Structure 1
Amino acid sequence: MTDDEAVVTADTPGRAGAPDDDGLALDDEIRAFVRRQVALAELPAAAIVAETVECLDGEADRVRIAELAWPVVAEELTAHLTAQQSWPARTDSDRLAAAFRALSAAGIVARESFACCQNCGLGEIGAEVPREVTPRGYAFYHQQDAERAVDGSPVFLAYGLFEQPPSVEIGEEVAAALRAEGLTVRWNGDTGSRIQVPMVWRRRRVGRLAAVPPTLDDDVDVEVGLLSAWTGVHAPRDGVQSAARLSALHLPWMPADARLRLSTESLTVTVRRAGDALVGEYADPDRRPVTVGRYEGLALLGGPPATVPSPADYVDATYEHSTGRGNAVALEAAEAIAITHRLQPHTRDFLSCLGRSGGVVQMGWEADRLWLETPHPETATVTGRHVSLAEAARMITILATEDRVAVDELGNTVTKPW
């Protein structure tokens, strides 16, 4: 996930996402910042609270800012999740992402919400050029552009050639890709002007990004110790925190190799994930290990039963793309499918999904086509073919919900050495 560092003006580096309104009360500043971060759909709940504290540091005590931010994050996330239920199946944000993916496949380095501002974007886009690829140009919009789009402004796209002045031809190709996805384009052909895309910003939240901070009257504090590597915006922090939030926002998505030591006033337990369950092993030798569902982590600390049932669909996902990575993370089908839309053509981005019984479906871009396969370790071969994103989604859904590999059902597959 990109860190939302933002800025004060479009062309000046700084902290991204800071409220633009002067003179707002602290509560209003917090809500303005949180609402924007929720709409951007890049950070999970705990990371939004942390960013709020960083952004408003100096406005009040950091602990106080966090206390005020938590309920606001819960309210704004709930409102967002309710609203997205009535959105069309394909939103303008989906169309924009599809246009950028098409541009990338065509050899134009296209990145969304890239860098904090235009100057930084222009300075950093060259590092995005895939190895062994000679790009024909670039296109991007930066984080401040995304924030303004949340507030109702058009998205402004920078475009051009590497180490050359921008050309009309590249601008026209970018505009054509946007129009091909059904988006409106405002651009007069002037290479000194960015391309404008009027749109309604609607990004869906699923999986970890849709986890809402709970509120419990009898919540307890828990001391968290990370016993193995678990990093990134989805990882909990070391130290004292809410047991209910830890259980709702982090434990369901523990990487398979992560270990946490949790301590309350009455017990200490080491927690790991085993498939679709959490296993707690207690420091007290008289207490037997306990196994609960992924969403029932609070029960390991003596808390009440979970109010959110564990989803029936499940895969262990290992993935890497330009804005995130994960190793053996427990995901629902919807979040695994969302990751396929993050994979970029002409890169080494990949996603590998492991089912409950050990079946594997994995994929990555081969130049401008998405290759999907299932491995056969006993013969050191793979079976697969190039697929559409819709076909990839179907394969993931079957693995997650039916616990079977259905690659042969795609038809026209080939088997080859790995």
Structure 2
Amino acid sequence: MTGPTDAERLSRAFRALDAAGVIAREDYGWGRGDGPNIMYGEREEFFPGARGFVHDAIDRGPGLLFYGVFTDEERQDPEEQAALGREVVEALRTQGLEPSWDGSPRQAIELTTDAWKWRPVHRAADRRAADGGTPALLVNFDDRRLDNGGLVRFSGQGMVGDDGVWRELLYRLTPARGSYLTFITPDDTALQLIWEEGPRLRVEVPDPEARVYHYTHLSLAQAEQAVAALAEDGLAPLAALRGSGPLETESWDA
């Protein structure tokens, strides 16, 4: 299995922060000033219980992370903001990144630009990997967020040629209600991952003949294992999902 890039480590850290109540976004906003304003919209739309936020800014280029706490006061409490900064730094270090930060709430958290060097998403007319080897998974997605960053910058589909690419897409997808990824095998069966309120990840296999979905709710790590079984072991989507635990069934008309 291909090892994670720093970019994948950043996305993994951000997903851990999302799960902990801190809205974490890549390619977000156009500067340090407008990021918090959009983040309040993200909280209202997707995460009403969020405590704080962290993001980078498109026009500042890669390397800086800005963060803050949500408050009804005119200004953030410096101690609370610094505590959030420490939480972000710890999440980054847990994933193997080496952030630079002096502990001041007035100081952005710095990372090397490698944390924004994503593997390319390969596109092709056939269903083969970029190296001409193992048949690739086709991916369709919709990344729900209030700006135009993240996966929104890509078109809605592409060829996924190796585990490094599909893992980066999996962890980079914004965990906002309605965001989804669909991995389609060379025989045109699908494994779908859909973020619900919470955020909570629903993983399902559509059954067109029976007009039902077979589904369960998984952690991101468990979903990664299911997609790996699909991509690396060649398991059918339903077999890959059954390996993650018991399934429920829902009619297409529900």
Q: TM-score, normalised by structure 2?
A: 0.72
- Cα distance, 1:340 vs structure 2: 0.8
1:326 Cα deviation from its structure 2 partner: 4.5
User: Cα RMSD (Å) of the superposition?
Assistant: 3.3
Quote the residue 1:415 is aligned against.
248
Q: Which residue of the partner structure matches residue 344 of structure 1?
A: 174
Report the CA distance between 1:132 and its aligned residue.
5.2
Q: Give the conservation status (yes or no) of the 8 Å contact 2:8–2:171.
A: no
Shift of 1:400: 4.4
Aligned residue identity for 1:368 = P
Residue in structure 2 matched with residue 332 of structure 1 by the alignment = 161
**Letter of the aligned partner of 1:374 in structure 2?**
V
**What residue is the counterpart of 2:47 in the other structure?**
133
Identity %: 23
- For the structure 1 residues 372 and 101, does the alpha-carbon distance in structure 2 shift closer, same or farther, using more than 3 Å as the test? same
The answer as to 2:233 corresponding to 1:404 is: no
* Pairing 1:362–2:155 present: no
Which residues in structure 2 correspond to 1:176-187 (within 5 Å)?
176-187=90-101
Q: Does 1:94 align with 2:4?
A: no
Give CA-to-partner distance per residue, 1:88-126, whole Å, 9 cap, x none: 934443332222111122222211232232123234333
CA distance in 2, matches of 1:145, 1:317: 30
* AA matched with 2:170: T
Amino acid at match of 2:76: P
Which structure would you say has the larger Rg?
Answer: 1
Query: Aligned residue for 1:161?
Result: 70
Once residues 138 and 201 of structure 2 are traced to their aligned partners in structure 1, the CA distance between those partners, rounded to angstroms, is: 20
In structure 2, the CA distance between the partners of 1:197 and 1:329, relative to structure 1 (3 Å rule), is closer
Select 2:38's aligned residue among 121, 124, 132.
124
What displacement does 1:383 show?
2.6
Task: Determine the C-alpha separation between the residues in 1 that align with 2:107 and 2:189.
Answer: 50
Aligned ranges 1:170-209 → 2 under 5 Å: 170-187=84-101, 189-194=103-108, 196-199=109-112, 201-202=114-115, 203-208=117-122
Structure 1 counterpart of 2:52, which letter? Answer: G
Q: Which residue is equivalent to 1:382?
A: 213
Unaligned runs of 5+ in 1: 1-87, 150-154, 209-249, 254-275, 278-293, 296-307
Deviation per CA, 1:310-362: give whole Å up to 9, x if none. 34222332201143264554443543333211222243210112223232101
Match of 1:392 in 2: 223
In 1: Cα distance, 2:46 partner to 2:69 partner: 20
Q: Give 1:199 deviation, angstroms.
A: 4.1
Higher relative contact order (CA 8 A, sep 6+): 2
- Alpha-carbon distance in 2 for matches of 1:96, 1:370: 19
Contact in 1 for aligned 2:183/2:191 (Cα 8 Å): yes
Check conservation: 1:383, 1:413, Cα contact below 8 A. no
Q: Residue 374 of structure 1 contacts residue 407 of structure 1 at CA under 8 Å; is this kept in 2?
A: no
Query: Residue 138 of structure 2 corresponds to which residue in structure 1?
Result: 316
- Name the SS of the counterpart of 2:203 in structure 1: strand
- Tell me how far apart the structure 2 counterparts of residues 193 and 372 of structure 1 sit (CA, whole Å): 39
What is the 5 A alignment of 1:8-157?
89-129=3-43, 131=45, 133-134=47-48, 135-147=50-62, 149=63, 155-157=64-66
> Residues 25 and 174 of structure 2 are in contact (CA less than 8 Å); yes or no, is this contact kept in structure 1?
no
Q: Match of 1:160, as an amino acid?
A: V
Alignment of 1:261-272 (within 5 A): none
1:365 is paired with a residue of what secondary structure? Answer: strand
Q: What stretches of structure 2 of length at least 5 have no aligned partner?
A: none
TM superposition shift of 1:205: 1.5
Match of 1:348, SS state, is: coil
